[in-house]
Structure 1
Amino acid sequence: MTTECLVKLIQDLTEGIITPADLQRLEAELMQNPEAMQVYLTWMDLDNLLQIETSVRKHARTQVIPMERIIHRQRRKMLRTASLSAAALVIIGLAILALFHIPENAASSLTFRTSPGTHFTLTHDASDETTPAGMVMKEGSRLSLSQGTVELTFESGVSSIVMAPAEMTLQSGNKLKLNHGSAWFHVPEGAEGFQVSTQDLEIIDLGTEFGVHADPDNYDEVHVLKGKVKVTTKRVRKESAILSFGESRRIDSIGRLKEIPPAPETFLTSLPDTLPYIHWSFDKVENDAFQAQGNHPDLELSSARPKKADLQPLISKGRFGSAVHFTGVKGQQLQTQLPGIAGAEPRSVACWIRTDYAPDKGTDIASLIGWGYCQSDSKDTPENTIWTLKIGLGGYPLIVGGPHHVGTTNLADGQWHHLACVMHPPETKDGPTRHTLYIDGKIESTRTTFNTEQTKTLTDHPLSTRVRIGASIHRPDTPPIVFRGDIDEVYLFYGALDEATILNLYQSNRPLVAPNPLSTK
């Protein structure tokens, strides 16, 4: 129950106009919410003081008190006394019952379930002697997602879909701390007052559906999809506002709420049946662009169009349906508005390729897919801020983005080959990045040419290149190297796929992901 609603009920009680139903709501709130009881007692003390002061002042002016006022006060006093007595009796009764029976897992909790391929860690409050079994969070429990998606179901009926990377703590049955992540919330009737706290925002639901983007390295956002929310910033300005359907705000550096375009499409509203992914089949063309399929919220940013060349001459017969054919001409590279996957977050890409171009010196054949911020085109500059899967000198597959991993199979034989790469999350915070390369469904042996810092792909730099297909990643003022050959069925998964899933992609070209075992601590 919101503070405004609580105060309204207390006012109706003190005025003697409260309905039986509202009286029952008030009593229930007082019994289960100590903070509400404190507000109630404070309000009653203030009301009694005002009544005494008013009575003294009026008595000083006149000794004649109308009988109607006396009767009204008596009725009001009787109702207040009866309400307090009833509440006190119920509270005392509950306290007595608690002495005889303490229910197991009495603290507020929620249950959750995950999409296939999700990796998570669940930890519980060390001071709590009762540890719930299975996929259950109690007050103080923390859930961390390194990849995948989770669906939360609160006891109040509130539901949420949270996409990795994410970390959250259940602070009470009515409040979730979202330290990091993108989350959608649906609050049903009767559960108003549900709260979400981020590093920079306090959000109180007023009966609604809303989404939150929380990122410690960026500015938090709230998007109202239905109803209303009250949002307050935690920074210097402590600005507060009530937002309605279609309104969105982002906090700035000093705590102001800046209006931003609504983006409901950036939130998942149901649990997907795979890891979030985007797929370019090159079979569907609209508005002079190849349209993508998939279940990732950024799907609308994924249309791929040539930088300068006409699209139709690039379409060729593919491994499945149509493919895109590159001849090395600058301007043929396919551009999207998709930022790509940032930092050291896990990722997987897969595609079919065919080429017979394999120079032994000079430049690489070019990237198949890549993104990020190219700091410099100098070979002496670390390349950990970009990430690309490419065909290198001699026709050998090459991964760039932290350590350089080079395959041992020459793919420039003019035949179709399925190429896949999985980037695993670091085992420690600053640990090395590990990649696994697959060719035609099998793990490829690789050699590491040199080591750089951990992969830290920059996707939000002003000069970052969005996801590009068929060309290398260079600075904006440097022409890219365009691929020579055919590319088909490009998949980008937001997470690390296992060997069985890569094999399935090779065999059936379908994004099936096996479920992951429960991981708790």
Structure 2
Amino acid sequence: MTDRERIDLALEERLDPEDLRRLQEDVIADPSLRTLYAERAWLHGSLRADGRFLRDLAEAPTSPPLPSTLSRPSLNLRWVAAAVVMVVGLASTALWRNRGPVAVLTEAAGCKWAGSELPTAEGSRLGPGVLSLAEGMATIRFVNGASLTLEAPATLEIIDRMHCRLLQGSLVADVPKPAHGFTVDTPEMKVIDLGTRFGLTTSGVGNSHVLVFEGEVDVNTGSGKKRLTTGRNLQLGQTSDSSRTQEVERTRVPEPAEDGWISLPTSAGRGKDAYVRRGRDRPTGAEPLIMVKHTDLAPENQRRAYCAFDLRQLPKPTKELADATLVLDVESSGLGFSALVPDSRFAVYGLTEGALDAWRENGICWINAPASSDSGLDPAKVRRLGDFTIRRGSAPAQIEFSSPDLLEFLRAEHNDLATLVLLRETGESEPQGLVHAFASREHPTAHPPTLRLKFLEHP
């Protein structure tokens, strides 16, 4: 059975529960399958809508019969009318498809594209069609003045100058008064702009979120219409959090590879990872993501991450280390929009007092986080090991951080546990901003925070 057949059966509610479960897992893990799912969902939704329309039309009362000289008993006028409506609709769609450009790709520097129907060079004039952005941020300006900033990975279908569909990914829309009524659809909702600025994100597998920065929007969903004003948001669907209740499988450190490198994840031995949020006392150690954020505009949204590695799992003492790299899998937090933050610098610190490594994954929170306070980290209890940068709108799939200070810190660590603290130093100019996230050891598919280590070779 092909992926398309599985998706079609699922949308028609004819896929058995076990196959449906497998499909859900595959869709979550495979970006290309998510895109196909979104496209098929749109097609099925459109066909259902057309079917309801034609059924209602067929069941509507008919006009008095025409004179016999003009009537033909075998011809059902209701279906003729339906056919005319369909032909007109198809002709209108074709007309739109053949019309001239409705938008311009005004910014696309450094972008990478995949599977786009439309031209992707900066300055290209765009008609109806699909854009698929794999990396970076791109800005599209419509002829009516509406501007969309698309954040990778994302797939957008331009329908006409007043209408587009976000199949997956995130965008920020800035819509002036002349474009009042500009509409962006997702598989779960239709957002109708009333002269405003808003952000919209969708996963393509049943999750959509709209946040109004300024002004108002009307949101149409399957349950009705709702108006959102400045600062209000609406989220549909939910992300599975089964990983929060499952027992994390502890891994053993593998033997060194042929090149001499060995991997030490937070899931090995007594390793642990978590993040803390200011003003919240709920532990986060069982969550699939560790989150990081810095902002002076909303201090209660500050977040810092902690990762501890069990050095007893290593085959040799750390004083014999020759090289070390911290590897982090970058994940989407679903909180905020990268278009609203500049290039972001992250700092990595190491806890220098052995007693501080005893923090508990299921108990750490902002008020008891080691060496941490509202004003920052205690310089007497931490050592700054270096920094790395995630560029605006161009988050890589993985971060690899190394520095002489990281190597020296690990070499000098004699407490069996080594704790690294991750925080973002770059602030924000927008209240909404962005929460950066990395996979934790509880993540169902991505790699946990990992130290890649290489030992000295002795003759």
Query: Which band: TM-score by shorter chain?
Result: 0.3 to 0.5
Normalised to the residue count of structure 2, the TM-score between the two structures is 0.40
Structure with higher Rg: it is 1
| TM-score of the aligned structures, taking structure 1 as reference length | 0.36
